[in-house]
Amino acid sequence: MAYLLHSPLCLLIAQLVVIIVTARVLGVLARKIHQPLVIAEVVAGILLGPSLLGLVAPDIKAALFPAASLGILGMLSQVGLILFMFLVGLEMDLGLLRGRGRASVLISHTSIVVPFLLGTGLAFYVYPTLMPEGVAFSSFTLFMGAAMSITAFPVLARILTERRLLRTKVGAVTITCAAVDDVTAWCILAFVVSIVRATALTEAVVTTVLAVGYTLGMLLLVRPFLARLAARNTGREGLTQNIVAVTFVLLFLSAWATELIGIHALFGAFLMGAIIPREGGFARILAEKLEDIVVIVLLPTFFALSGLRTQVGLLDTAEAWVQCALIILVACVGKFGGSYVAARVTGLGWRESAALGILMNTRGLMELIVLNIGLELGVISPTLFTMMVLMALVTTFMTTPILQVVYPPEALAKDLLEPPLADKRVTLPEGFSVLMCVALDRSGPGMAQLAGALVGKQTASDRLYGLQLHRPAERTSSLLEDEDAAESPSALEPLLARSRDHGLAVRPMSFVSREPARDICSVAEVKDVDLILLGWHKTLFGQAFLGGTVHDVLKNAQADVAVLVSRDLQAVRRVLVPFCGSPHGRVAVRLARRMAYAAGAEVTVLRIRFRNADAPHVDAFLADIAGDRVKVVEAVDDGNRATDLVVKAAQGHDLVVLGSAPLPIDQILSHCPASFLVVHHSERPGPVHRRPRPLTEPSTDATAHA
């Protein structure tokens, strides 16, 4: 034994092997009884620690986990945790926090406040026996409160995904609440840590100020930078290693900064993950790169370390077990009860409320992370640590079976959200065909949404095409090229997925093109489409609108072209059309009217008159267009106020459709947060040219040139 473990590195590797194997074996068992993997990993840690291995075979435990080696293992697990918290942040979509209505706000707040208060209350009861010496009572109380209000966002997300609950109302509300809970709980925790570490009040104030400044800096400076970095570097080619390196350096700097400030390094990692832009798969690719090594190799070391610190033997009195039971009870009552009551108040049924409560009660490994921080700070004693670990284990363990009882699959089937987009089709002129050109995968969903709005319920004469043009390879190695192609999914995938959701059939095409603009135009011609839809992407520096490929397509296309500036276009319900009477504007109005009739959108045409000028043909055009679904509003522009008028009117609209001239699009775009569709009218050749002709007709000059 001693020979096998003679050097620190040998020891570390042996520890890793034992830890990973134990966790994986138990993981298989956990799967058998429908438990999340976390349970297996925590139990594996406890089994390897003094609670079992230390009791049964103290020699082996002493040889395998000597006290001297725990420092190295500890550092490794800390790095693992930093990366893991980064992953948690990545999974946490801050977009979830926006606009989710009163229900989520009420439930999430209640589900923090109630357990927090109960936790502090419990602190009053247990502090005589369980509070370590030399700790301020206030710190202990605050920590107990924070520890009670944790919800395990990652475990929750995994349970919801596995049970296909994400698309139910319960799932949507729960995931939002859990996100809010976790962000709040981590903020509270960061605050508690800073208070515990501070020796004087002034120091605590300084820490808090620094922490707020750091958070603002991350949100206001680093986040926009990352957004541009991501916009620039994701999509067709995936991420280069340099970009990943930059991200990691930023991550470690962020963790380092928070550790220096005095809140925990994990907070910095979490915040960094949370502000990584979600668009374009940047976050997804990063997560994929990280996930395996972190979850399989590094995280189990953390569990093992927690297990080594968990000494069930410390609970040797009846009183201790009573306290332990009380902690579990309070934790459940606080979290489950709090969320259940709040959910009932907001009008959810008892089944849904109970499901939500039990889900929120899952504490998983987030609790473990918090507890380890507490133990390292000395805020809680090893005995209390053990009790709380058991609490985390029990609350996580009970989630799946109870959920099975209160929310069986039959109830779930009834609750699956109906897909939106009602069919309110009024008769529209003939079929409509759109060619959607996708360059980056994140522009796909918006385009599909728009196509759905233009076509409504697809009939045989409505044709939708998705086109993706690859740049010719620069590398010569065909082998590498093939591997790349196999790894990166097509940029068309998100478009096709969203189209399927809306019941639209899109015919995908992609190929290598040296002149994308020319190919877009010729595909549009051969497919005889009514509209070419292009995406617009922010460049890293500068924002020339309608430049490059888009410009070339506008110039050469024989069909109308629309450029979609999608700012997370989720639905096309309210549409604004600023209109000055230009030919481009007329096409914009017609497209919007199509949305009104095909998808039931509410369309407002904002007629802008320049200095009250009279334009009878425009009036006639509008009179023809206006109907029960298309409303016309007048506005007068007495000198360069068009931008303001449009920006003001655009409030509350999902989509602004406007002609490529004469309104100042660059200005409007930068001032208005809505999604835009910029429409360009192209003169099409008359119907005579488009009628199929016999091939041989132009034979004379064709032969001459061939």
Partner 1 sequence: MHFGATLRLLRVDAGVSLRALAQKIGVSSAYLSRVENGHDQAPTPDRLIAIARALDLPPTLLIDLAQRVSPFVARYLEDVPSASFLFLEIARRKLNAAQLARVHAFLDAEFPAWGAASAPAVPRLHELLTPERVILKLSCSYLGDAIDLAATRLAGAAPGLHATTLAAEIRERERESPTGVGHGVAVPHALVPELEPVAALVTLARPLHVPTPDDLPLQVLLVIVGGGRAPLEMLARAARLATPGTVAELCQATTPEAALARVRHVESEFG
Q: Which residues bind partner 1 (CB under 8 A)?
A: 470, 472-473, 475-476, 478, 481-482, 485, 490, 507-512, 519, 522-523, 525-528, 690, 692-699, 701-703, 705-706
- Shortest Cβ distance from residue 9 to partner 1 (Å)? 44
- Shortest Cβ distance from residue 693 to partner 1 (Å)? 6
Residue closer to partner 1 (CB basis): 418 or 430: 430
Burial of 575 (0-12, 13-18, 19+ CB in 10 A): buried
- Shortest Cβ distance from residue 501 to partner 1 (Å)? 18
Got the DSSP string for 478-546? HHHHHHHHHHSPPTTHHHHHHHHHTT--EEEEEEE-S-HHHHHHHHHHHTT-SEEEEE----SS---TT
Residue closer to partner 1 (CB basis): 6 or 690: 690
- Shortest Cβ distance from residue 493 to partner 1 (Å)? 12
Name 437's Cβ contacts closer than 8 Å, sequence gap at least 6.
467, 468, 469, 520, 532, 533, 534, 535, 553
Residue closer to partner 1 (CB basis): 2 or 486: 486
Distance CA 43, CA 390 (A): 10
- Shortest Cβ distance from residue 696 to partner 1 (Å)? 5
Residue closer to partner 1 (CB basis): 382 or 508: 508
- Shortest Cβ distance from residue 470 to partner 1 (Å)? 7
662 preceded by cis ω (within 30°)?
A: yes
CA torsion, ordered 573, 576, 582, 583, to nearest 10 deg: 0
Span between the terminal Cα atoms of the chain, in Å: 83
Give the pairing of strands 602-610 and 506-512.
unpaired
Give the tokens for residue 3.
């020979």
Instruction: Reduce the DSSP state of residue 604 to 3 states and report it.
Output: strand
Check: CB of residue 574 under 8 Å from CB of residue 601. Answer: yes
- Shortest Cβ distance from residue 297 to partner 1 (Å)? 35
CA torsion, ordered 223, 226, 227, 233, to nearest 10 deg: 180
Distance CA 494, CA 466 (A): 11
- Shortest Cβ distance from residue 683 to partner 1 (Å)? 18
Residue closer to partner 1 (CB basis): 380 or 491: 491
Residue closer to partner 1 (CB basis): 447 or 565: 447
- Shortest Cβ distance from residue 467 to partner 1 (Å)? 9
- Shortest Cβ distance from residue 218 to partner 1 (Å)? 41
Name 423's Cβ contacts closer than 8 Å, sequence gap at least 6.
456, 457
Residue closer to partner 1 (CB basis): 639 or 694: 694
b/e 611-647 (16+ beta carbons within 10 angstroms → b) = eeeeeeebeebbeebeeebbebeeeebeeeebbebbb
Instruction: Reduce the DSSP state of residue 203 to 3 states and report it.
Output: helix
Residue closer to partner 1 (CB basis): 80 or 238: 238
Question: How many residues appear in the chain?
Answer: 706
- Shortest Cβ distance from residue 436 to partner 1 (Å)? 14
- Shortest Cβ distance from residue 587 to partner 1 (Å)? 22
The neighbour count for residue 570, using CB atoms within 10 Å, is 13
- Shortest Cβ distance from residue 449 to partner 1 (Å)? 22
Place of tokens 């139910």: 168
Instruction: Reduce the DSSP state of residue 208 to 3 states and report it.
Output: helix
Residue closer to partner 1 (CB basis): 235 or 585: 235
Residue closer to partner 1 (CB basis): 237 or 528: 528
Residue closer to partner 1 (CB basis): 90 or 492: 492
Residue closer to partner 1 (CB basis): 500 or 631: 500
Check: CB of residue 584 under 8 Å from CB of residue 679. Answer: yes
Residue closer to partner 1 (CB basis): 235 or 364: 235
Check: CB of residue 181 under 8 Å from CB of residue 360. Answer: yes
Residue closer to partner 1 (CB basis): 205 or 512: 512
Distance CA 35, CA 155 (A): 11
Within 566-640, strands assigned E span 574-579, 602-610, 630-637
Q: What are phi and psi of 26, to 5 degrees?
A: -65, -30
Instruction: Reduce the DSSP state of residue 458 to 3 states and report it.
Output: coil
Residue closer to partner 1 (CB basis): 472 or 652: 472
Fill in the DSSP letter of residue 194: H
- Shortest Cβ distance from residue 486 to partner 1 (Å)? 10
Place of tokens 């000055």: 580
- Shortest Cβ distance from residue 439 to partner 1 (Å)? 16
The neighbour count for residue 318, using CB atoms within 10 Å, is 8
| Residues β-bridged to residue 607 | 579, 634
